[in-house]
Amino acid sequence: MRIRKVTKKIELKVVKQYKRNVSIVVILKKSNIGKTTFYRILRKNIVTRSRDTKFKKGLKPWNKGKKDVMPIPWNKGKLGVFSKETLLKMSIAKKGKKHPNYGKHHSLQTKNKISKSNIGKKRTSETRKKLSISHKGQHSSPSTEFKKGQVPFNKGKSLDLLFGKKKAKELKKLNSQKRKQFFIEHPEVLKRFNQIKIGRPAWNVGLTKDTDKRVKKYAHSGAKTKKGMFKGQLNPMYGVPTPHKKRVNYNGKWYKSTWEVNVAKKLDSLNIQYYYEPHRFYFRNITYLPDFYIPDFSLFIEVKGFWRSEEIRKLKSFQRKYNHLNILIIDSRNYKQFLKIKSLERYIIKWVNEPIDVIIKIY
């Protein structure tokens, strides 16, 4: 675009009219000048700048306190300027590879920012319906869409078959770690998940081998298994800590019962150092994990609310094999006395290394 050459007389006239607050449209008509030349004249005659483009002392900006100096956009304050046809054309023009963000992905930092900003936002039922309608059939291309009668590639296949045993183990561990971290960070989700399970009947209630194929399949597979197949070291839970529904947190540790927490509190009040479940003892078909160990007294402590046949068997095998180790059993007989003691030494003399056969006879 060519800029018209202007004489000094025209420049002076433009500046005088501008200073008298004459409208820009009138100035342009009288002087027969375009907008670009008009702004060039103003910059030349009114504003003087240094080489570093900084205002000198005492100077004021040429457009200070003046309205309608800069051109106003043609669509300012206008709604629905574009018709539906033009909007469609604009959207088609930016689709696919033509879009400026085609092939670009958000970084991890931006993804985290988006996820944090969305936390706590609640969407109404209307917005959810709109989103579901807008997302239907848009994100999946014709190559990725499942057709009628098409079966997914991984249906009925385990991770061992798809990736191999080594890689499948790694994937399972990663998935379990991610779930644990998610439930630790979001305890509200875990509460909701547990509430859904409560009161839900099992899937096989009222079903038999004759009525349901799945029950027949599982019964047939169970009949084939040999006796003692999952006993002792063959059991996948051998040496693994048993999952307990009831867990109590104290000083950043999770205890299996309130009795164990009260014992730990008592030891803390007496300023006695202890370790919770430090060492597991292995036997032929079973393992035993004492609750506490006190290194100053070289003493193991076992807390029992009630006795089971498996636990009696574990303690019997422990006392036979490890006679040289001291163990203190706290149960319903001496639990209340333990919470009232002032020194542990007197209590140990009375109750340490009691044979289990004697304890069971009392009950």
Task: Report the CATH number that the domain containing residue 273 is assigned in CATH.
Answer: 3.40.960.10
In a domain, 20, yes or no: yes
Mean pLDDT score of the chain: 78
Mean pLDDT of 275-296: 88
Mean pLDDT of 85-100: 82
In a domain, 211, yes or no: no
Q: What is the structure's pLDDT at 273?
A: 92
Q: Pick 222 or 207 by higher pLDDT.
A: 207
Q: Is residue 50 very low, low, confident or very high in pLDDT (cuts 50, 70, 90)?
A: very low
Domain end point (choices 70, 88, 121) = 70
In a domain, 5, yes or no: yes
Q: Pick 48 or 308 by higher pLDDT.
A: 308
Q: Is residue 49 very low, low, confident or very high in pLDDT (cuts 50, 70, 90)?
A: very low
Mean pLDDT of 172-198: 81
Q: What is the structure's pLDDT at 128?
A: 83
Q: What is the structure's pLDDT at 52?
A: 47
Q: Are residues 257 and 175 in the same domain?
A: no
Tell me: pLDDT of 192 over 80: no
> How far, rounded to the nearest angstrom, does the alpha carbon of residue 323 sit from its chain's CA centroid?
49
Q: What is the structure's pLDDT at 262?
A: 92
In a domain, 293, yes or no: yes
CA separation for the pair 157, 176 (Å, rounded): 19
Q: What is the structure's pLDDT at 274?
A: 92
Q: Is residue 361 very low, low, confident or very high in pLDDT (cuts 50, 70, 90)?
A: low
Q: Give the lowest-confidence range in 135-144, 329-338, 341-350.
A: 135-144
Mean pLDDT of 53-59: 61
CA separation for the pair 239, 289 (Å, rounded): 9
Residue with tokens 């504003």: 47
Question: Residue 193 sits in which domain range?
Answer: 162-197
Q: What is the structure's pLDDT at 48?
A: 46
> How far is residue 316 from each of residues 10, 121, 288, 335, 352, measured CA to CA in Å?
114, 57, 10, 21, 15
Domain end point (choices 70, 101, 127) = 70
3-state secondary structure of 198: coil
pTM of the full structure: 0.38
In a domain, 115, yes or no: no
Q: What percent of the chain has pLDDT above 90?
A: 6
CA separation for the pair 309, 356 (Å, rounded): 12
Domain end point (choices 51, 70, 89) = 70
What pLDDT digit, counting tens, does each position of 94-121 carry? 888 888 888 888 888 888 888 888 887 7
Mean pLDDT of 326-331: 88
In a domain, 238, yes or no: no
Q: What is the structure's pLDDT at 197?
A: 62
Q: What is the structure's pLDDT at 187?
A: 83
What pLDDT digit, counting tens, does each position of 57-66 carry? 667 777 777 7
CA separation for the pair 322, 324 (Å, rounded): 5
Query: Is the distance from CB of 347 to CB of 341 less than 8 angstroms?
Result: yes
Q: Are residues 275 and 336 in the same domain?
A: yes
Q: What is the structure's pLDDT at 1?
A: 42
Query: Is the distance from CB of 266 to CB of 338 less than 8 angstroms?
Result: yes
Q: Are residues 181 and 259 in the same domain?
A: no
Tell me: pLDDT of 200 over 70: no
CA separation for the pair 241, 278 (Å, rounded): 12
CA separation for the pair 343, 91 (Å, rounded): 81
What pLDDT digit, counting tens, does each position of 129-174 carry? 888 877 775 555 556 566 667 777 788 788 888 888 888 889 888 8
User: What residues contact 124, with CB distance under 8 A and at least 6 apart?
Assistant: none
CA separation for the pair 23, 14 (Å, rounded): 11
Q: Are residues 190 and 282 in the same domain?
A: no
Tell me: pLDDT of 309 over 80: yes
Q: Is residue 261 very low, low, confident or very high in pLDDT (cuts 50, 70, 90)?
A: very high
Q: Are residues 353 and 262 in the same domain?
A: yes
Query: Is the distance from CB of 26 to CB of 40 less than 8 angstroms?
Result: no
Structurally, how many domains does the chain consist of? Answer: 3
Provide the sign of the torsion angle of the four alpha carbons 258, 263, 269, 271, taken in this order: negative
Alpha helices in the chain (DSSP H): 8-19, 24-31, 35-45, 84-93, 108-118, 125-135, 159-163, 165-185, 187-197, 213-224, 258-269, 309-321, 335-340, 344-351, 356-362
